Amino acid sequence: MVIYTDGGARGNPGPAAIGAVVGAKKYGEYIGETTNNVAEYKALIFALKKAKALLGKKKAKETELECNMDSELLMRQLTGQYKIEDEGLQPLWLEIWNLRLDFKKVDFNHIPREKNKEADRLVNEALDKR
């Protein structure tokens, strides 16, 4: 299953939203006031939970996920290339780490912003609607 996620805040911190494309389903949601980095993490958490709900517990265990994001920081923290120095991100990282266990395999990929347009659009749409 292929996933695209994005999170953004207008101002940093500021009003924030998440966007996720999980398979063929699309989601955008306002999440309140926070930072860009927290929004990026929350978008991925949302997508992993949604993937498990859509697949069901048994099928999730047999499914490989490809998670695409334009946040280089998030991808590098998740793959162990960067330390997580922001204490506010550590519990979010741990939640993602635990959610990974619900699937056969989870790959985290950094993609250019222009290849993540749909997730970005969902973020901006949610922010515009709030």
DSSP letters, 37-81, are HHHHHHHHHHHHHHHHHHH-HHHHHT-EEEEEES-HHHHHHHTTS
pLDDT of residue 99: 98
Q: Are 8 and 125 in contact (CB under 8 A)?
A: no
Q: Would you place residue 50 in the very low, low, confident or very high pLDDT band (cuts 50, 70, 90)? A: very high
- pLDDT value, residue 124: 97
Note down the domain range covering 59. 2-129
- Percent of residues, the chain, with pLDDT higher than 70: 100
**What's the pLDDT band for 18 if we cut at 50, 70, 90?**
very high
Residue 19: its pLDDT value, please? Answer: 98
- Each residue of 58-73: pLDDT tens digit? 999 999 999 999 999 9
The CATH number given to whatever domain includes residue 45 is: 3.30.420.10
User: Structure pTM?
Assistant: 0.97
pLDDT digits (tens, 9 = 90+) for 71-107: 999 999 999 999 999 999 999 999 999 999 999 999 9
Question: For the chain, how many structural domains are there in total?
Answer: 1
Contacting residues for 105 by C-beta, under 8 A, at least 6 apart: 64, 65
